[in-house]
Every structure is written in C-alpha cells, then in structure tokens.
Structure 1
Amino acid sequence: MLKTTIKASVLAVMSVAATMAGAQEYQASDKAKQLAKKYLIADTHIDVPYRIHNSWEDVTVATESGDFDYPRAVEGGLNVPFMAIYIPAEYEQTGGSIELAHDLIDSMEALVGRAPNKFALAYSPAEARENMNNGLMSIAMGMENGTPMEGDLDNLEMFYERGVRYISFAHSQTNHISDSSYDIRKQWDGLSEFGFELVKACNDIGMMIDVSHISDEAFYDVIETTEAPVIASHSSLRSFTPGFERNMSDDMLKKLAENGGVVQINFGSSFVAQQANRYRDMMKKRIQAVYQQFGEDSDEAKRRVAEIEATNPYPYATLEQVLDHIDHVKELIGVEHIGIGSDYDGVGDSLPVGLKDVSTYPNLVQGLLDRDYSEKEIEMILGGNFTRVWQQVLDHAK
C-alpha cells in the first residue's frame, strides 16, 4: 500500500507539471515545416502496439490520448514510425511471449488494413521511400525484448518473415540472450552463448541489432561480434545523466561510430536531463520518509506530502536539452551517427517541452536550424542516417 501511494503521489505531481509545461509553446517557422515535409522522417521507437493492446484506440483518426495518431503524425511530417513490438520482461519467466508478439504484429497489419489510403507496411528503405512518394505513411516494426526468440533461431526467421526489422535483445531484466542495463544481476557478463549466435544470425538474415536496453558488457560483445552496423533505437547520452546505464557513454558512442551505427536520440525527460532522471527516486524517498515518521493516513503526513508535491514539480526537459544531446554526438563522432528514437507512447507524461507528440518534429527541425545545422545534416538526422544503416544491414545479408 505504501509503494502504491507513493507512486500515485509522484504521478500526480507529473500530471500537474505536464499542464504547466504545455504553457510554453514553440513556433516552428514555415521553412522548418517545409523541411519536415520534404525529407523522410524515421522515428525508430513508437509504442503504439502495446498502447492499443492495453486500451484500444483507433489511431487512424485523431485520438484524445497518447502521443501518436495519424492526423498528428501527418502534421509533424512523420513518414516511417517504427512500431515497437514490446514484450514485458516478465514473459521470460511466465511464457506466452511468442503469442503476444504475434498479437501485436497482427494489430499493426490490421491498422494498415483499416486505412490502406493512409498506411502501408514497409520492410526496407526502398519500400519506405516508395510509400512516401505515394502519400502513404509506412508502418515498420522492431521487437523490443528478444524473449520471443526462446532460444531457437527459427523464431528469428519467423519474425523476420512477419516484418520485424530490428530486435532489442533485452528489456528491463536479463533474459536468455543478454544482460539488461536496468538489471543489477549480470547473469552472463554480457551476452549469453545464444546471444552470440543470435548476433551472427541477425547479420545473416538482415535483421538490425538494437543495443538499447542491454548492459555495457553486452554492448561491447555485440560490437565485437557483429559484421554489420547496429542501432541504438531509443537511447540518449550518459554524459548528461551520470550513472544511468540505460544511456550510452562516450566510449560506447565511439565504438558505435567505428561500427558505422547510429544512436537514435530518446526524447523522454529522464533520458535527457539529470534532474528528471533522478526525480522519481528523490520524490519516493521524501514521501516515504514522511509516511514512516507520521503514518501514511495521518493528517500531518497528508499535509507534508501535499507540500512536497506543490514545491517539487516534475522537472521536464526541454527541446534545447534534446538538441544538446544531438550537438554532443555530432561533436564527438559526427552527424552521420545521429537519428530519432523518440519513445512516444512509451514514456508516459515525461516528454520534454516542445516535443510532446508526433506533431512536433518541425520544432526539432527549427531547433537544428537555429543551431546552424545545414539542410543536408537535418536530412541525415531525420532519417537519412538510419535508412543508410538499414540498407547496409540488408546488403550485408545479401
């Protein structure tokens, strides 16, 4: 009960802060909007499948909740949303991961079936560009958590045939493939024996390997083993969030550059700003201390918790801080290794001011223009770098 109450209190503060954050508006110029429409925008991590699995909404039309729907995506210029086939970590123990993965893939095929004048599936960069030229938004898919492999490489081929084009080897817990960045238990000290086999099999079949979520040791194992470039589908930079292993260190970025891969910057405030990254833990500790001192149901505890909530609003990141991450990658390893992996519909109400949903990519473009990025560099960041890696992975398989 105590943990539930603390979580509710923290979420309430974030909700109020979200309303406040929305008051600050960004205005993209006509040029920024034009560039967002002109160039292919590929966002490699959007959590629509699990969102509508839990609470169905028809995202082919405007929705009242969530970060993605077709009208807003068109407004933002989005061409290739990579929909995350997300498998919660507990499925490693409970079973049923293959069935859930098929259900989520089915839902994306059904999405296209409901609105063939709006969406089309895409299994390659060429198909994505063809869809764009035909006025259709591509639905591409990546698997977040490799648990559905279930130790059998035949499952890799099965999901590739169903349209999955990248795999994040683990999620929030270590599994039979890899250690997780979130899990203090490092069962394999990197990849498992099957994990090494899976790297080679992904190279052979043309499946992109996603290094987001895996431990540092697993990342280096992947880099030393793969013969094709990799992606970090939705990660930001550890230099801005010290101690947060889920983000990438500068040394990892340098290895990623040597590999020819791309880091797709995550927009979530806790990935972008140190204050936001530490906020939940800070609030939980302060609220828990009040409950332990005064009792959870006492009037004094309620008064003090309300005061904590009122004086500690959620410290949302800003568009400028997201741009700082992009600047850092450019300065460290070059603009050719940067892309977008927003994590829309996957980070709750923690999105930064100026990038609250899929309609706001022009704000990002405006920020890049303001920081003197060239039109060519903007094209690379929006989707050119990622589609280059995607094609290289396919070419290697051939």
Structure 2
Amino acid sequence: MRAQILAAVVPFALLLSMHAQEAPRVSDQARRVHDSAFVFDGHLHMINRQLHLGGNIGDRLPDGQVDLPRMKEGGLDAFMMTLYVMEQYYPARYETKQTLRLVNMAIDQLEQNRHLVELARDADDIDRINASGRMAAVLDLEGSFDLEGDLDVLRALYRLGLRVVQLPAHNWSNEYADSCCAPARWHGLTEHGRAVVREMNRLGIVINVSHASDETIAQALEVSTDPIVATHHGLRSLNDIPRTMPDDLLRKLAAKGGVIGFHIGNAFHNRAQFDWLTRHAGKPFWDTTEVAADRARLSMAEIDKRLIPQFPMVEARAPEELLMSVDQWVGVVDRAIQLVGEDHVALGSDFDGGPTPPRGMRDVRDIAMITDAMLRRGYSEARIRKFLGGNLLRVFRQVTNRQR
C-alpha cells in the first residue's frame, strides 16, 4: 500500500504472537461455500519482499501476511500478483529497471513453485491452471513502468506476461496521468495518457485506476473501450480521503462494466483507525513528500538497502477497540452493492501492502471470514461467488480473451 510511510515496524514478539493467533472459527456453511467458490484476490503483494529480504514465495513465513502455503489455506484460486515499483526509485529514474527486476524475479519464483502456481496470461489460462489443482497468478504492476509512459516499454512488458497495469504512478506524479495523492499537473490525463489507455485496450491489459485522481478516473472511463478496475479501494462516502472513490465515479465505473475491489485494511473504511494511524505516523499514509525532497542520486543498491527495514510491510497496530469487525467491513461492500449492484464488487485485499485487517483476521488464510459474514448478512451464495471472484474474472476474461 505505502511502504515508505508505514509506522515503526511491529516488534518481532508481537509479530510472532500475531502469527500464533488462534484460527478464527468459521461456520460449516461458510466453509462449504468458500471452498467450492472461485476465489480471485485482485491485489496481493508478492516479490518485493523476496527481492529485498530473499526467500521464496513457497516458504511459509513467520510474519507478514502472504505466502503460497497461507494463500492455499485461504482458498485462493487466482490472484493478481502485485509487483510494487516504490516511489524511492523514481527520482533517479530507475522505475523501468526496477519493473524488469520484479517481473524477472516473479517469473523465476513462479517457475520454482510450479507445483502450486502458474502464470496466467488470460482467463482461459486461469481455467486450465485451476483444473490442474493449482493457483493462477496474474502479473499486476503497481506504480510506474515508465514515468513518461513509453508505449514500447508497455508492449515489451505485455510480452513478458504483464496483464494488469496501474495508470498513475502510485502516489507520485507522472508525465501523463495524475495521482490521487500528489499535486495535480494535468487535471486528469494528457493526450499521451489517452494514448496509453488506448494501447492498453489494444493489447488486452486490464487498466487499474486505484491511486488515480478523480479526474484521471473519469477521463480513463471516457477513453477506454474496455471495463476498468479499481483493484483496492474504498468509498469516499464512508471515509473522505483521496484514496477512496466518490459515489458518482463508482456509478460510472459500474456503467462501463467495471469492478471495484475492496481493500482489506481499516484505514480505507474506518475513520477512527485512519485518524489514529495518521496521528501515529505524523502524516497520512499516502504522503511521499520526503521521497520527493530527497534528490540525492543514489545507486539502486543504496535504495535497496534503505528499503530493507520496511519489510514485511506492517502498519502500527491501533488499539483493538478502534478496529472494525469483519461484519462492519462487509457493510462497506454492502453500501457499494446498494449503489451499483452485486456485479461490480470484488476482493482486492492488499495483503502484505501494509493493511491492518478487521478484528480477528490474521492474514490471507482468513478470507473465509468474509464469506461467513456475508452469509450472516443474508447474501445468497450466488452473490458471494460474484464478490469472491466471479466479477473480477468476468472483466479479466473480457479484456484478455479476445482476438486482436
């Protein structure tokens, strides 16, 4: 989510206690529905940790929120494997080199764990991989592949298997699309930004507008001929911050056939925890002014070294009484369903991007708690299946499975 401003790392003893926390109880009905559903998480951070700390995505880790064994326990069938090009690489213009490093390592790690997971380039691949009993990984880029939006770089990354790309440069300004969380430069998209959208449509790359400004989202929806996703988001009507979506834009996103993925963290939906976190850190979680002010031309090795202490990405832990319950979190999804219907909501957890999940939820293992809460709210199994993966798969299939 925002490694550069995560609060101080949680003490190791607390991390161990979090890991050892007793598994939450889930009803037999919820377990049956969850285990039989297609579960597709639209935003799971992987590879950045391995790049900086070493290790393998197939290892069960004692901390953090994501690894393949825990994902399997959580019932995941597919996931957008988020590769995060952090802002620290931007001032020296290392963003494209960092993208290539992450993609290369992702492909290597997937190959090393091919008994559990395989890279999917389209929805037919997901179907085939799931039929073999394995998880499907979709390469997803968060941050900038090139601050100027070079279309040849985009085409090369497509050939390597990248299928989801964030339009803005995370919480940073790029040369063609405004971010939610940096001063506006273009009031949305430049003409080249529109060309980037059209090229993503042509190639069959899913456009992700999480971290985009309202104007950027609105203009991308006007230009794109494909549905658009906001992979990890919240509702501004519930927490008025730049990283959440106003109702009018959500309606436009849905009218285009798109999907909003709901972030598992409290900060997007729970004002009390957001305010506590902001006070604790001294600034909101998206603030990158310190990075922008640091114009020293560091080597990539020096930047890498600086970032090591930020992994695993864990927020400072707010008091338990400030955290929302899983039922309250599902209430956020319910608000969106009331606005745009059940065909436009999805899971986009952002696990290992720093979120503090609802009370009682440890990590990716516990996604079935959402299924249980949805059943308590009276959701039909069909609605739950749409949220857990059906809606996101529909958009992914539409964008990637067509003759070009």
Same fold, judged at TM 0.5 (above): yes
**Paired position in structure 2 for 1:303:** none
Q: 1:205, 1:397 within 8 Å by CA — same for their partners in 2?
A: no
| Structure 2 counterpart of 1:333, from 314, 336, 340 | 340
Range 114-123 or range 83-92, more displaced: 83-92
| Structure 1 counterpart of 2:49, from 35, 38, 51 | 51
Provide closer, same or farther for how the CA distance between residues 270 and 200 of structure 1 changes in structure 2, counting only shifts above 3 A: same
Matching residue's letter, 2:387: I
Q: Report deviation, 1:392.
A: 1.5
Q: Report deviation, 1:365.
A: 0.7
Q: Report deviation, 1:77.
A: 0.5
Q: Does 1:363 align with 2:361?
A: no
Instruction: Trace 1:1-398 onto structure 2 (pairs within 5 A).
Output: 8=8, 26-148=24-146, 150-170=148-168, 171-183=170-182, 185-242=183-240, 244-283=241-280, 315-347=322-354, 350-395=356-401, 398=404
- Unmatched tracts of structure 2, length 5 or more: 284-315
Matching residue's letter, 1:194: H
Provide closer, same or farther for how the CA distance between residues 204 and 285 of structure 1 changes in structure 2, counting only shifts above 3 A: closer
Provide closer, same or farther for how the CA distance between residues 15 and 200 of structure 1 changes in structure 2, counting only shifts above 3 A: farther
Q: 2:47, 2:57 within 8 Å by CA — same for their partners in 1?
A: no
Range 275-284 or range 246-255, more displaced: 275-284
Provide closer, same or farther for how the CA distance between residues 45 and 15 of structure 1 changes in structure 2, counting only shifts above 3 A: farther
Q: Report deviation, 1:20.
A: 8.7
Q: Report deviation, 1:49.
A: 1.5
TM superposition score normalised by structure 1: 0.85
TM superposition score normalised by structure 2: 0.84
Give 1 or 2: higher helix fraction. Answer: 1
Provide closer, same or farther for how the CA distance between residues 77 and 70 of structure 1 changes in structure 2, counting only shifts above 3 A: same
TM-superposition CA deviations, 1:1-39 (whole Å, max 9, x none)? xxx9x954xx66999799699979641122222222212
Matching residue's letter, 1:386: L
Find the aligned partners of 2:21 and 2:366 in 1 and give their Cα distance. Answer: 15
Give the match's secondary structure for 1:234. Answer: strand
How many residues of Structure 1 are paired with residues of Structure 2 in the alignment? 367
Q: 1:40, 1:129 within 8 Å by CA — same for their partners in 2?
A: no
Q: 2:15, 2:63 within 8 Å by CA — same for their partners in 1?
A: no
Q: 1:17, 1:314 within 8 Å by CA — same for their partners in 2?
A: no
Provide closer, same or farther for how the CA distance between residues 72 and 269 of structure 1 changes in structure 2, counting only shifts above 3 A: same
Provide closer, same or farther for how the CA distance between residues 377 and 108 of structure 1 changes in structure 2, counting only shifts above 3 A: same
**Paired position in structure 1 for 2:290:** none
Q: 2:19, 2:362 within 8 Å by CA — same for their partners in 1?
A: no
Q: 2:10, 2:317 within 8 Å by CA — same for their partners in 1?
A: no
Matching residue's letter, 1:172: N
Find the aligned partners of 1:310 and 1:75 in 2 and give their Cα distance. Answer: 24
Find the aligned partners of 1:310 and 1:277 in 2 and give their Cα distance. Answer: 11
**Paired position in structure 2 for 1:300:** none
Find the aligned partners of 2:232 and 2:362 in 1 and give their Cα distance. Answer: 16
Find the aligned partners of 1:215 and 1:369 in 2 and give their Cα distance. Answer: 34
Q: Report deviation, 1:119.
A: 1.2
Matching residue's letter, 1:393: V
Find the aligned partners of 2:318 and 2:262 in 1 and give their Cα distance. Answer: 30
Provide closer, same or farther for how the CA distance between residues 337 and 274 of structure 1 changes in structure 2, counting only shifts above 3 A: same
Q: 1:273, 1:321 within 8 Å by CA — same for their partners in 2?
A: no
TM-superposition CA deviations, 1:127-154 (whole Å, max 9, x none)? 1121111111112111112343643211
Find the aligned partners of 1:354 and 1:310 in 2 and give their Cα distance. Answer: 13
Q: 1:80, 1:138 within 8 Å by CA — same for their partners in 2?
A: yes
Identity among equivalent positions (%) equals: 28
Work out which of the two has the higher radius of gyration on C-alpha atoms and give 1 or 2. Answer: 1
**Paired position in structure 2 for 1:301:** none
Matching residue's letter, 1:266: H
Q: Report deviation, 1:88.
A: 1.4
Find the aligned partners of 2:106 and 2:325 in 1 and give their Cα distance. Answer: 31
TM-superposition CA deviations, 1:275-298 (whole Å, max 9, x none)? 111113333569xxxxxxxxxxxx
Give the match's secondary structure for 1:175. Answer: coil
Matching residue's letter, 2:228: V
**Paired position in structure 2 for 1:298:** none
Q: 1:147, 1:175 within 8 Å by CA — same for their partners in 2?
A: no
Q: Report deviation, 1:373.
A: 0.9
Range 103-112 or range 375-384, more displaced: 103-112
Find the aligned partners of 2:191 and 2:12 in 1 and give their Cα distance. Answer: 42
Provide closer, same or farther for how the CA distance between residues 62 and 249 of structure 1 changes in structure 2, counting only shifts above 3 A: same
